[in-house]
Amino acid sequence: MKLILSDHDERIIEHCPATVEQILLEAGINPLDVLVSRNGNLISEDTVVGDEDEIRVIRIAHGG
């Protein structure tokens, strides 16, 4: 599975299927600090993603 981080860095994650939450924690990201989308659609953290998926992390930066 391909994980695209908010700084456009990309990582390949091996241990799929896994939940979005597990993948974020593995990458050292607090799930509350980000949104995650798959093919442009928001998905919840308990969504199970597989090897063929590409998910994008949107960081919720602080901006008033």
Q: Which residues pair with 58 in a beta bridge?
A: 35
* Shortest distance (Å) from residue 35 CB to other proteins: 6
Integer Cα distance of 61 and 15 in angstroms: 28
For residue 5 the two structure tokens come to: 């981080």
Length of the chain: 64
Closer residue to other proteins (CB): 12 or 30: 30
Contact residues for other proteins, defined by CB under 8 A: 17, 30-33, 35, 37, 39, 41-50, 53, 58, 60-64
